Chains A and B, each alone.
Chain A
Amino acid sequence: METRHAAGSLTGTRIRERRLGQGRRQADLAREVGISPAYLNLIEHNRRPIAGKLLLDIARALGVEPGELSGAADAARLGLLAAAAARQPEAKAELERVGELAGRFPGWAALVAAQHQRIRALERLTATLSDRLSHDPQLAASLHEVLSTVTAIRSAVSILSEGGGLDPEWQARFLRNVAEDTARLTEAARGLAGFLESGGAEAGEHLSPQEELGAFLEARGYFLAPLEPGGWAGVEAIVAGAKSELVSAAARELAREWLSRYREDAESLPLPRFAALWQECAGDSLLLAERARVGLSRVLRRAACSGGPATRGLVICDGSGTLTTRRELPGFPVPRFGAACPRWPLFQALAQPGRPIRARLEMPGEPRQVFIGTAIADSRWPEGLGGLPVFEATMLVEADPGASDEAALAVGPGCRICPRAACPARREASILAEEA
């Protein structure tokens, strides 16, 4: 808070520095933004507050981002510099003079901050890839196939190359084995290369049915215009037209179920009505569900699958906690392999079916990223009273537009790639160092 306040109170100084740096006269800048030079002088000496339209106008006139003037950018940068120092305490960086560094050497400060962010991003990428290597059954099977085949070829070639006295029958046998294994190795290597080149599980031939469906939906931004009311195609036509993406029969079956539910959601809450209600309820999904007389899970799905850029994420799991839908939101990664963070509202909802759960969530990393998660678990009784219920939990994830310093629940993507060492819900050790 102190940093933010200090950063904000020096807006005028920053305007003055930028103006002087560009060799512009106070009177010229004042005229350009429609204020008197005397007033601009008061602003530049931090004796008049400045915000809103005037700040935007001055920023535009100076050709800089408004955040550069208001100190928002400085505050974020100071936070990154402090985090960089905390990550490497042995460097004994003069933390108490971080403001001086940023003020006197803004370029160097920006470089250190950017490198810190880059290092963190690379660490996360490494962790994700490492996690994939450890858990991806397709990759493990491919590697096993390659190494086993190489072993067989190496042994046979070694025997054949010994020369002298190898029985012709054995010779023919080993030659045949080498030919067979070479063909196998070619196939295995090709599959492995395709897997790695495509970023692993993105390669169609290696996807599980659920991943095939996920890739199909992702390619369409989780929005199926033909299935909206008045649309031009049915579920079967869409599935039939996507055979190159939904390769397996199992994936096509999953797609039929998913798309049928999408159509029911769309018919129950057509987009124009949904958009009007969303605005009327100020984004309160529970209130919207009440007014539209539909279940909350339908509203959450609709909110995440209504076209446009991915500004909302959607995660759905079954009664075992297995994720069945993963629509990621930038900054809110959803693990592809292994389990997700047990602190997500999704799992809290699963433990309390029918009760809506809403929480502000903070993902690890800098700059601070806060989200709102809204979740509910529904139950179905497909076998009637004599059977067991089938549970499903749905969570909508939205970037939080509120003040960034409000309290939020510390969550992560999943234990393996979460740096929160002291998390009370930790299930297994992380492969990341603890967050600074």
Chain B
Amino acid sequence: MGRKVLLVEDEPNIVEAMGFILSRDGWSVASHANGETAMDEIRRVGPDVLVLDVMLPGRSGYEILRELRADAALAALPVLMLTARGQEKDRALAEELGATRFMTKPFSNADLRKAVNHIAGED
């Protein structure tokens, strides 16, 4: 069984491209598009790495991250936060809530691979 990455992102074409790139690196990729039910999906999939968009329908990525860090079983899960906003305050908020890494859209495929592998402790 390969390493699992869960992409919580509501843009299907971004999910498809990220999924393709990461699966080529040997990742087993799952995706989920709804913020409201994301926590259930994270618990169900049990990923090794979570890629989490900030702006999601139903619930923001920040809220999901806050709940995730309060859950002992998920507190150590490496999380890569994605956002379309790149202001310092967004980065600060993501770090404060416990994001392992923060990336601003648009990003390159190389940056994505590097970030995911890095937070998985595999680079």
Contact = CB atoms under 8 A, between A and B. Distances in A.
Nearest to A154: B106
B37 interface: no
B14 interface: yes
B104 to A, nearest CB: 8
Contacts of B108: 154, 158
A174 B85 CA distance: 25
Interface stretch (A88-96, A145-153, A340-348, A408-416): A145-153
A177 to B, nearest CB: 4
Contacts of A243: none
A147 B109 CA distance: 15
B17 A152 contact: yes
B67 interface: no
Interface string A163-191: 00000001001100100110000000000
B55 A151 contact: no
What range describes how many residues of A lie at the interface?
10 to 19
Given A143-B84, A144-B55, A159-B20, A152 B13 contact: yes
A174 B11 contact: no
A152 B21 contact: no
A156 interface: yes
Interface residues of B, number: 17
A156 B106 contact: no
B105 A177 contact: no
A315 to B, nearest CB: 32
Nearest to A177: B13
User: Which among A143, A154, A174 has the highest number of chain B CB atoms within 10 Å?
Assistant: A154
Interface string B102-122: 000111110010000000000
Contacts of A180: 13
Given A152-B14, A155-B14, A156-B13, A147 B21 contact: no
Contact of B11 (A148, A154, A159, A173): A148
16 contacts: A144-B84, A144-B85, A147-B84, A147-B106, A148-B14, A148-B84, A151-B11, A151-B14, A152-B13, A152-B17, A155-B17, A159-B21, A173-B16, A174-B16, A174-B20, A177-B17
Q: What are the 10 tightest A-B residue pairs by CB atom distance, in nearest-first order?
A: A155-B17, A147-B84, A152-B13, A151-B106, A151-B105, A150-B106, A177-B13, A144-B84, A152-B14, A147-B105
